[in-house]
Structure formats: structure tokens, C-alpha cells
Amino acid sequence: MKKAALLAGVIAAALVSASGFASDLFDRINAGRYKAVLADCAACHTKPGGRPFAGGAPLDTPFGKLIPSNITPDRETGIGNWSYADFRGALKEGVGKGGKRLYPAMPYPAYSTMTEADIADLWAYLQKIEPVSNRVVSNQLPFPFSIRTVMIGWNLLNFSPSEFKPDPAKSAEWNRGAYLLNGPAHCGTCHTPKSLLGADKTDQFLRAGNLQSWVAPDITNDAHKGIGGWAAEDIVAYLKTGANRFDIASGPMAEVVANSTQYWTDADLNAVATYLKDIKGAGTAPPRPLDAGDPLMLAGKAVFTDRCSACHVSSGEGAPFLFPKLAKAPVVNGDDPTSLIRVVLEGSQAGSTKARPTTPAMPSFAWNLGDAEVASVLSYVRNSWGNAAPAVTPAQVKDMRAKLAR
């Protein structure tokens, strides 16, 4: 009897310690799952419709094609034979297993600011996802970019790894936002313009970047080109649901919202919004809008009236949560009309989120509007209702048509 009681006690103790260990590991894996969402690993490492993290769709960089690697724990084709040190090196230093240099399309300059705890959590999670055998040849770059060691020089010029240091003068929320935006969420990877070498122009932080035939608009507080007109809650609504009273996420940002930001905690969303509201824009004076009587504007107005106003409304107001507002929209007033030309030509569909699953779509107008007509309607949109931005030229439309046809 005594013996049995002792045995029971031992078993109970073993169970408690085992479950204690398990819950500790579970918590870390679960935390890592959230960190993978914050870092939006799936954006690149999961092909649309493909197995999670088993390798992504090709990235078109100005230097050539790169294919995001398989980061499942498959030993042959994934990172199953990596050590934690290899993984940490990839994120912190841009150097993978065996000293292999990564290209900064993998945003290690951003991830290098992540805390050791966050990277450890991510590792815990990535070791527990399903291994998928899928060999990916990441490096499709032409010579000389195909030589990975060129990145040693690049890193010397453009990369100084350092963990995020909070600014004691700012609130804890601001600092959390700064950490998220610059670290795991790597917003600047798209939204900050790049130098000829493909490095962030840090003096133009978040003032619009161009990649993969999309423009990631200015998300500073600039009142004209940026989101100065958005309140913090508008930013939160956009990131959480994909839409706010002004705009709807589409293109790559729709994927960011669908895969990542809709799953963020409200605290993290508020933190990023607080930080974003504190980012100064260029603050340059808006250009003078084109005269409403300009022949280009008259032609553009005719096209807008006939083809656009049914959804976006003749005043450019759109309809909240359904059709984006064009009046005073950052993407409309930005210097670079890439995204505007693109959505007019090929159409666009809003991303689906749990909160807003409807996915309203814009039809393609490539079949109906010629290059000159797309140019004039966009010039009209960019210079009406308080908007002011350089006119779009037919040559720009022609170029985009050719790019999208490839």
C-alpha cells in the first residue's frame, strides 16, 4: 500500500514536471508562431496555394530573380540540418549554414534588430512545422550578383547589425511599435526607397518604394503624399481588417494583411500606429495641380466619368470599405504612379480578412483604354479633388503594359 502510494506520487511528480516542460516548450513554440506572423515569413517563403514555408514564388529584384528558400525542417531540402547558431546567423548577420551569404531580399538588415528571445522563439516554432521536401535553387541572379561573396562588400557598406535599442524618451508603446516596424514586420523593406545598391535610403525612411511593379506608398505623416490624414485608429483598422474609411489593401499589401497583420494583437497594432503617427514625412510643398481646363484633364475627366465614377464617385470619394477614396489618397499623390497604372490595366482585388471577407474587385481596363486614355484618366485623378501630382505619360503606361505581359 505504501509502496503503491509512493509509486503514484512519483508518477504524479513526473507528470507535473513533464507537463511543466511541455507547457514551457508549447509556450515557446506558440510564441514563435506569433513571431512568424509578425515577421510574415510566409509572405516570401510560402508560394500562393503552396505548402507552408516550403519555398516561395520568385522575387523579381532589380538585380535578377531570387527564389525564397524552403525553411521547413526537412533535412535534405529545408533547414532541418541547421543548428540554432546557423539560424541566428542568418537573421542576425545575413550568413546562413556553412558561411553562405544571404541576399538582403531576405530582410536580415531588419531581422538583425530582433531580440534574442524572439529569434529563439521563431527557431522553436520553425523546428516544429511539417517538413516538406522541396528543393529550391534560390540564387537565380545573373553574374556577378550570383556570387554570394559580393554580399560581404555590400554588408560592409550597407549593414551594421545591432539589436533594437529603445528610446527612453518615448513611451513603451512607441518603442514596441518602433521595434515591430523596423524589426520583424520589416515594413521599410518595401516602403523605404532603395539606393542603386538596393539598400534602404535611411534618410527617406518609409517615403515610398518601388518593387515588383508595385509602389509601396509613403506611410509617413506627410499630409499630402503620406498618411498624415489617417488617425491611429484608421491605421489599426487597415492593418487588422484590410480596409478603413479611406482605403482598401490590395496587391502585395493585401497579402501582408491577410497573412500577417490581421492576426496581430490589438496592443501590437496600436503600438505600430502610435509609432507611425510620429514619423515625419518629407514635408515638401505639393506641386501645383494641373488646370482643370487642360486638354489632358478634360480627356481624363471624360474617361473617369464613363469608366470610374460608378464606383469611385464623381467627387473621388469612393465608398467606405468597398471602393477606395481617391481624393487625397497617399498612393494617388505619390510621385510614382506605378501601382495606379497597374491596377487600371490589370484590375485589382482586395484581400480577404476574417473581419472583411468580401474582396471587392476592380475590373481590368487594359482591353478598353489605350495608353493615352489611361495616362489622361490617371493625370485627372492625380490632379482633382485636392490631389496634386505629376501627370502620367502614355509611355509610362506602355512600359507597364509590356512589363505585366511578361
Partner 1 sequence: MTSSTPFRPSRRGFLSSTGMTLLVASIAGAKAAEHSGTLPWKPFAALPPQPLPGGRWYVFTADEARMVEAIVDRLIPADDLSIGGKEAGCATFIDRQLAGSYGSSERLYTQGPFLPGLPTQGYQGAEAPVARYRAGLAALAQHVRSQFAGKAFADLAPADQDKVLADFDAGKVAYPAAAGFFNLLLQNSMEGFFADPIYGGNKDMAGWKLLGFPGARYDYRDYVTAHNQPFPLPPLSIAGRPEWKVGSK
Which residue stretch of 18-26, 122-130, 188-196, 367-375 sits at the interface with partner 1 (rule: CB under 8 A)?
Answer: 367-375
CB atoms < 10 A from the CB of 396, how many? 19
305 binds partner 1 (CB under 8 A): yes
Residue 98 CB contacts under 8 Å (≥ 6 apart), including other chains = 86
Answer for which of 4, 288, 295, 402 binds partner 1 (CB under 8 A) is: 295
Answer for which of 93, 234, 255, 346 binds partner 1 (CB under 8 A) is: 346
Instruction: For the chain, give the number of residues.
Output: 406
Residue 19 CB contacts under 8 Å (≥ 6 apart), including other chains = none
Answer for which of 347, 390, 398, 399 binds partner 1 (CB under 8 A) is: 347
Considering the complex, state which of residue 208 and residue 254 has its C-beta at the smaller distance from partner 1: 254
357 binds partner 1 (CB under 8 A): yes
372 binds partner 1 (CB under 8 A): yes
DSSP 158-204: H---------TTS-HHHHHHHHHHHTTT-THHHHS-B-TTS-B-GGG
352 binds partner 1 (CB under 8 A): yes
230 is written with which cell numbers?
489617417
Distance from C-alpha of 239 to C-alpha of 403, rounded to nearest angstrom: 29
Min CB(356)–partner 1 separation in Å: 11
Min CB(186)–partner 1 separation in Å: 25
Helix (H) / strand (E) element for 234: namely: helix 232-241
Amino acid at 13: A
Distance from C-alpha of 274 to C-alpha of 268, rounded to nearest angstrom: 10
Considering the complex, state which of residue 64 and residue 320 has its C-beta at the smaller distance from partner 1: 320
**Residue 31, marked binder:** no
376 binds partner 1 (CB under 8 A): yes
Min CB(254)–partner 1 separation in Å: 10
309 binds partner 1 (CB under 8 A): yes
Tell me the per-residue interface mask from 25 to 54 with partner 1, x by CB under 8 A, - otherwise: ------------------------------
Min CB(357)–partner 1 separation in Å: 7
Distance from C-alpha of 236 to C-alpha of 259, rounded to nearest angstrom: 16
Burial class (CB in 10 A: 0-12, 13-18, 19+), 346: middle
Q: Which of residues 233-292 bind partner 1 (CB under 8 A)?
A: none
Q: Which of residues 310-329 bind partner 1 (CB under 8 A)?
A: 310, 313-314
Amino acid at 296: L
395 binds partner 1 (CB under 8 A): no
Query: How many residues form the binding site for partner 1 (CB under 8 A)?
Result: 30
Answer for which of 29, 120, 282, 302 binds partner 1 (CB under 8 A) is: 302
Considering the complex, state which of residue 320 and residue 347 has its C-beta at the smaller distance from partner 1: 347
CA angle 386, 390, 391 (to 5 degrees): 100
Nearest CA to 72 out of 105, 99, 47, 103 is that of 47
Measured over all CA atoms, what is the biggest interatomic distance in the chain, rounded to whole angstroms? 101
CB atoms < 10 A from the CB of 305, how many? 13
Distance from C-alpha of 103 to C-alpha of 90, rounded to nearest angstrom: 10
Decide: helix, strand or coil at residue 134: coil
Amino acid at 63: F
Answer for which of 29, 57, 199, 366 binds partner 1 (CB under 8 A) is: 366
**Residue 187, marked binder:** yes
Tell me the per-residue interface mask from 194 to 223 with partner 1, x by CB under 8 A, - otherwise: ------------------------------
Amino acid at 160: S
Distance from C-alpha of 365 to C-alpha of 59, rounded to nearest angstrom: 26
Answer for which of 364, 390, 398, 399 binds partner 1 (CB under 8 A) is: 364
Answer for which of 299, 335, 398, 399 binds partner 1 (CB under 8 A) is: 299
Decide: helix, strand or coil at residue 253: helix
**Residue 224, marked binder:** no
**Residue 110, marked binder:** no
345 binds partner 1 (CB under 8 A): yes
Residues near partner 1 (CB under 8 A): 295-296, 298-299, 302-303, 305-306, 309-310, 313-314, 345-347, 349, 352, 357, 359, 361, 363-364, 366-369, 372-373, 376, 404
In the annotated binding site, the residues are 41, 44-45, 187, 190-191, 308, 311-312
- Known binding site for heme c: residues? 41, 44-45, 187, 190-191, 308, 311-312
